[in-house]
Structure 1
Amino acid sequence: MIRIAAVGDVHLADHSRSSLRPRLEGVDEHADVLLLAGDLTDHGSREEARIVVEEIGDLPVPVIGVLGNHDHHESCPEEVAAILLDGGSESWRVRPPSSTSPGGEVDDAGTKGFGGGFFGTCGSSFGEREMKAFIDHSERATGALRECLNGLDAEYRLSLTHYAPVTATLGEEPRELCPFLGSSLLAEAIDSADSSLALHGHAHFGSEHGVPPEGVAVRDVAQPVLGEAFRVYHLDTAGPV
């Protein structure tokens, strides 16, 4: 059995310095790995990235994360990712969007993802160049996730995104916001790779346990949804618990 701790949307900044670390003490007693579903910082600044390192950098379990939209706000996501990688322990990784891992019993693929809407209400790459750019970005993010998932060589495949792949976990989020909360393109990639579990954040008013139309279990692990520092999922042949 694999024990996966997960959380997203911790939004660390100067005002929340030292708030998360005490709540992560003992995570190794409950989980084998910690997955971070984006929005690690509040505004995507270099200083906030250093605060993330202070809070998470040397935990006694491997830590794997993706960036979220907040981590892009100051338009230096590459620098934010580099600070996280350089300042963390050897087991801390920010998942590049098109890389594969060496395999084993469990492995993950991750990307920020993007919006675009869900089946029946999707945007399309048609018309103004601004709309084409919006949808094209979502398609590139999905393509990277699909490539990474299909490249995994493991018994259990995990998908880690910031944006939601299904509406089932959007809970009380206003329907008008759905095109900006995720994309069903992500779900297509996750389903096609026979994933064992899909984790995302971003939807602060979402529902942890959504029931997707088919196949893969999806969980919204945004911290405002969980109401705690992290949630642990036990993954075995029966699926996530």
Structure 2
Amino acid sequence: MSGENKKRIAAIADLHIGESDKGKWVDFFTEVSKNADVLAICGDLTDTGDESEAHILVGELKACSIPVVGVLGNHDHEKSRHKLIRQIMQSHPNVHILDGEATVVAGVGFAGVKGFGGGFDNYMLSMFGEGAMKSFVQEAVEEALHLDRALARLDQEHKDIKKVALLHYSPIKETVEGEPEQIFPFLGSSRLAEPLSRRNVEVVFHGHAHIGVLEGSIAGKVKVFNVARHVLHKSGYGKPYFLYEI
């Protein structure tokens, strides 16, 4: 475990738990529990967004003896059963699934949203044109607002606490590099980066971009890690989860 005033966060994304995964994650959660104080899961808990997959994951999490904080991903929304999936996940007493909310676990402040697409930097989509395009951009705007409000609650209620943000979509282009540029607008949005920087978040974890890059930053100030399990494996990280000490 970590030192007296240090906490170790294990982070992973894109578990994609399927019907055949029963019993396959017990060793993973057992090992994580020995090496970290908190486990962060950054979306795509399920593979097809079916509640039966969430039930399997909750069963596997019986092997996890540390608190779990997470957000849902696009796969968890696939069948529009995301509210049910969240309810099932939170039936486990140690699991917190955040959707525009904040919580304090092991003395660390966590704020979480799924996030959304929209593109990055000068190529970020604008609120212009057809109604469908405006709706797409509005979704990213609202997710950024939810994130800002969650972080603001931590600032108001827990001054000077270290803040960690959990997303599924990326707030920066850097950690999705390697994916086809044509799909960058569907992998994240720079709109998410502004509240993260302004609210002095220490570290951000996200997933979604399976062929992306492990590490980046927001203007060299806020550390960002793409902890999709595919990225961890590709990068040769050495563990099936990312460890960060705070």
TM-score (norm 2): 0.90
Match of 2:143 among 137, 141, 144: 141
Q: CA RMSD of the aligned region, Å?
A: 1.5
The answer to whether the 8 A contact 2:21-2:56 is kept is: no
* 1:211 Cα deviation after fit: 4.1
The answer to whether the 8 A contact 2:176-2:213 is kept is: yes
Q: Secondary structure at the match of 2:109?
A: strand
Aligned length: 232
What is the identity, as a one-letter code, of the residue corresponding to 1:5?
A
The answer to whether the 8 A contact 1:200-1:221 is kept is: yes
The answer to whether the 8 A contact 1:24-1:229 is kept is: no
Matched, 1:150 2:144: no
* 1:231 Cα deviation after fit: 1.5
Q: Deviations along 1:185-211, whole A, 9 cap, x unmatched?
A: 111111111000000000100111124
Match of 1:53 among 58, 66, 69: 58
Match of 1:234 among 220, 231, 245: 245
Superposed, which structure 2 residues align to 1:26-37 within 5 Å?
26-37=31-42
Match of 1:80 among 50, 65, 85: 85
Match of 2:26 among 21, 36, 56: 21
% identical equivalent positions: 36
Q: 2:104 & 2:208 partners in 1: Cα distance?
A: 28
* 1:104 Cα deviation after fit: 7.3
Q: Secondary structure at the match of 2:162?
A: strand
Name 1:239's counterpart in structure 2: none
Q: Secondary structure at the match of 1:205?
A: coil
Q: 1:192 & 1:148 partners in 2: Cα distance?
A: 13
Structure 2 unaligned residues grouped into runs of 5+: 1-5, 234-238
Q: 2:141 & 2:186 partners in 1: Cα distance?
A: 14
TM-score (norm 1): 0.92
Superposed, which structure 2 residues align to 1:164-175 within 5 Å?
164-175=170-181
What is the identity, as a one-letter code, of the residue corresponding to 2:67?
P
Matched, 1:176 2:208: no
Q: Deviations along 1:49-78, whole A, 9 cap, x unmatched?
A: 111111225511000110000000001110
Q: Secondary structure at the match of 1:26?
A: helix
* 1:7 Cα deviation after fit: 0.2
Q: 2:185 & 2:16 partners in 1: Cα distance?
A: 22
Match of 1:94 among 93, 97, 110: 97
Name 2:118's counterpart in structure 1: 116
Structure 1 unaligned residues grouped into runs of 5+: 236-241
Name 2:196's counterpart in structure 1: 190
